Structure 1
Amino acid sequence: MQLIKKTFVMPRIIYLFISIIIISFLFTNLPSSAVEVSNIEFIGEATLPKGLIFKKTEVGGLSGITYNAKNNLYYAISDDRGQKAAARFYTLKIDLSKGSLKKSGVIPVDVTTLLNENDQTFRPSETDTEGIALTNKSTVFISSEGDSTKLINPFIKEFSLSFGKEITTLSIPNKFLPDKTGKQGIRNNLAFESLTITPDKKNLFTATENALIQDGVAAKPNIGSPCRILQYNLLNGQPEKEFLYQTEPVSPFLNLTGKFASGLPDLLALDNQGHFLSLERSFTGLGFAISLFQVSLEQADDIHHIDSLLAIDFKNIKPIQKKLLLDLKTLDVLLDNIEGLTLGPKLPDGQQSLILVSDNNFNSLQRTQILAFKMKIETPLIRLLRRLLPNLNR
């Protein structure tokens, strides 16, 4: 009888042992920190009062936002070109402690003026600061779109978090710089809106909001635009790779104003393997269209050696892969000019929070709007276990 029991017990142990080996092998051959958003849920909206004055500055133009987990604070960059006050970023408290965002849940707590390498404020119209990303050195990188009409170059600079003092400047590849001929470089107000740093703090990414002049057309009704994602190695401060990002064609709906704008205002790194959230924003004449995408660079071609996409047959270039995560028009919310996004803290239920912020353009008809979401983020191991054990989440 004992022999019969052993005969039945041994295969179970062997099967378990084999299963552990297979799972371990698959896990060790996957990028363990590569993630995927499996669900996203809206958890609240807040707006700042119109014309809010804080420490002698008007709070507005919030075009990018980043989160400091150490002190549970957010830093939001204003794109004021020095018309209301000097270039600056705001420190905000956003209360998600109850698992949602209430209407009064956002409070400015500080403002930091940016200082150039000479310890002076930037001159009016010298900057168009749009993106902000926190490092692990008590500094932030900030991107400026420049002004191609005045041949003012875009920049990506590192500033002290405490004093706003410029520390370093990253070099911008020549293909992005405007020239006198008007045949090269960024388009005005369609340059480096986005900025994000990978969790390991080794790489920084930015992107053009629309195509470089020599790469293709700016976005038009029903026509997308070929943007470039630019990757920097923060260990040496040098640009390394570039990738093609094609924005979605957008159809205007009842465009009575005749105005149309569409592009890529922000990216958010989810891991160290080239997975992001991207934000696409369009003004269609009757409000704003906002979409969130999951983005992967894994299969994309590096195009840093190509100075002009129009000079080659770029149909053969593999662009970044993207998948629609959320079309915000499905929310019961009147959307404003959403331009920035960042991960926030873990919520009480353990899920990851996500914050979006709008640029009100210092326009009395617009709002500084903050939207909050919670996301379920899964690693490859969890996805593998779900396939092997369908009842895992039941």
Structure 2
Amino acid sequence: MRMRSVLATVTAGLAAATCVAAAAPANAHSGRAPGVHACSPAVSIAGYSDALDKTTYDGTFVGNLSALAVDRGGRIAALSDRSSLFTLDRETLKPTSVVNLVDEKGAALDSEGLAVDYDGTRLVTSETDPSVRRYERDGTLVGSLPVPDALKVAPAGRATSNLTFEGLTLLPGGRTLLAAMEGSLSGDTAGIVRFQTWDRATRQGDFRLSAQYGYRADTGLGVSEAQATPDGRLLVLERGFTAGVGNTVRLYLADLRHATDTRRVDTLTGQDGVRLARKTLLADLVNCPSLGARAKQPQPNPLLDNIEGLTITGRTHDGRLQLLLVSDDNQNAVQTTRLYSLSARLPHTVNG
């Protein structure tokens, strides 16, 4: 389906979810602005929906959502970090199917990143290994990708458990896959994380390890998602949480061009002559209008929650990228599964 058609269906779906909320649990709320409201000069929000919050589908809890991807035909694939992969209806954004994912030994995953390949198979990361595995639509495991030793969890490597592959995206053309680490490797300066790529010579070929890049997250934040833009740059979600204050969620545009390939660089300090990816802030989501949203715990803006997933669903009539975001409620009574509809106009250059 063309990007513009996907946009129409997903935007309609979020509006439909607003209507569905009336039949959802009493704690589910939705908001849809009559137009769009600015979060920054570059980013606007059109609405949100809590209609999926604390619901179940086919006996499976609909929550813990950590990643989104647009499937062929415009359907939305939504990944739970409890090893469940949902398909959401493109018009209502309600689940229409769910499959459970397991590793080679039949164990559940801490599944965090998701990309849909050209043939419809799902590429899924797990934080516990870390790993990138390929699954058929029905959840059948069909293979896995190699992972550099340094990115593995200690003592096998230098990564910290639960701070590995958090984001996953295919670059335009489908020949390069990128996984974003959430946190820094031991020995690297705190806040500098690594983005690992895999390339394939042909569209049908297997992925092989390729370049790696350094990216500096803001102090106290980690990378929760990376999504390739149509021009080959990256939308990067940085997220953090402070008890008693709430979440910080910032959306950046990053550019890997001219960044140093760090796969043979043992330690990244930011002052070692290594060129990190450039980035520029598109929006701090605390500045979005709340649209009447309610928070179950302290938040600097009641609209905010633990936002982890992001996908590009199309373009608006004036060329802005249409974005769908989702928060991970951690199956926690004081957190919310919330879908957000945003749009973003990307600058021509990344200055940072």
Calculate the TM-score normalised by the size of structure 2. Answer: 0.77
Q: 2:272 is paired with a residue of what secondary structure?
A: helix
Instruction: Determine the C-alpha separation between the residues in 2 that align with 1:271 and 1:230.
Output: 19
Superposed displacement of residue 176, structure 1: 1.0
Cα pair 1:117 1:165 within 8 Å, conserved: no
Structure 1 pair 106–297 and aligned structure 2 pair: CA distance change class (3 A): same
Q: Find the counterpart in structure 1 of residue 79 from structure 2.
A: 77
Structure 1 pair 350–241 and aligned structure 2 pair: CA distance change class (3 A): closer
Residue identity opposite 1:277 in structure 2: L
Q: Find the counterpart in structure 2 of residue 165 from structure 1.
A: 140
Question: Equivalent of 2:249, from 290, 297, 300?
Answer: 290
Question: Equivalent of 2:285, from 315, 328, 344?
Answer: 328
Q: Find the counterpart in structure 2 of residue 358 from structure 1.
A: 327
Q: Output one character per residue of 1:316-357: Cα deviation in whole Å (capped at 9) or x when no partner.
A: 211100000011011123201001100013446664311111
Instruction: Determine the C-alpha separation between the residues in 1 that align with 2:41 and 2:53.
Output: 36
Instruction: Determine the C-alpha separation between the residues in 2 that align with 1:158 and 1:38.
Output: 38
Instruction: Determine the C-alpha separation between the residues in 2 that align with 1:278 and 1:326.
Output: 11
Q: Find the counterpart in structure 2 of residue 53 from structure 1.
A: 56
Is 1:140 matched with 2:142?
no
Question: Equivalent of 1:89, from 85, 101, 119?
Answer: 85
Residue identity opposite 1:268 in structure 2: Q
Count of paired positions: 293
Cα pair 2:52 2:338 within 8 Å, conserved: no
Question: Equivalent of 2:210, from 228, 240, 256?
Answer: 240
**Which range moved further: 263-272 or 188-197?**
263-272
Is 1:174 matched with 2:132?
no
Unmatched 5+ stretches in structure 2: 1-39, 291-302
Calculate the TM-score normalised by the size of structure 1. Answer: 0.69
Cα pair 1:72 1:345 within 8 Å, conserved: no
Q: 1:171 is paired with a residue of what secondary structure?
A: coil
Cα pair 2:154 2:160 within 8 Å, conserved: no
Cα pair 1:116 1:165 within 8 Å, conserved: no
Q: Find the counterpart in structure 1 of residue 28 from structure 2.
A: none
Residue identity opposite 1:168 in structure 2: G
Is 1:228 matched with 2:194?
yes
Q: Find the counterpart in structure 2 of residue 276 from structure 1.
A: 234
Residue identity opposite 1:75 in structure 2: A
Is 1:373 matched with 2:342?
yes
Instruction: Determine the C-alpha separation between the residues in 2 that align with 1:204 and 1:358.
Output: 23
Instruction: Determine the C-alpha separation between the residues in 2 that align with 1:179 and 1:357.
Output: 30
Structure 1 pair 209–56 and aligned structure 2 pair: CA distance change class (3 A): same
Cα pair 2:76 2:93 within 8 Å, conserved: no
Q: Output one character per residue of 1:92-138: Cα deviation in whole Å (capped at 9) or x when no partner.
A: 1354xxxxxxxxx53111112225457xxx325xx210000011111
Cα pair 1:39 1:377 within 8 Å, conserved: yes
Instruction: Determine the C-alpha separation between the residues in 1 that align with 2:338 and 2:139.
Output: 25
Cα pair 1:38 1:378 within 8 Å, conserved: no
RMSD over aligned Cα atoms: 2.3
Unmatched 5+ stretches in structure 1: 1-36, 81-86, 96-104, 147-152, 218-224, 251-261, 381-394
Instruction: Determine the C-alpha separation between the residues in 1 that align with 2:235 and 2:274.
Output: 22
Instruction: Determine the C-alpha separation between the residues in 2 that align with 1:49 and 1:318.
Output: 42
Instruction: Determine the C-alpha separation between the residues in 2 that align with 1:271 and 1:300.
Output: 19
Instruction: Determine the C-alpha separation between the residues in 2 that align with 1:111 and 1:296.
Output: 35
Q: Find the counterpart in structure 1 of residue 18 from structure 2.
A: none
Structure 1 pair 244–379 and aligned structure 2 pair: CA distance change class (3 A): closer
Structure 1 pair 57–110 and aligned structure 2 pair: CA distance change class (3 A): same
Residue identity opposite 1:53 in structure 2: T
Residue identity opposite 1:232 in structure 2: W
Instruction: Determine the C-alpha separation between the residues in 2 that align with 1:241 and 1:38.
Output: 33
Q: Find the counterpart in structure 1 of residue 168 from structure 2.
A: 195
Instruction: Determine the C-alpha separation between the residues in 1 that align with 2:346 and 2:289.
Output: 24
Cα pair 1:117 1:167 within 8 Å, conserved: no
Structure 1 pair 231–377 and aligned structure 2 pair: CA distance change class (3 A): same
Instruction: Determine the C-alpha separation between the residues in 2 that align with 1:38 and 1:135.
Output: 33
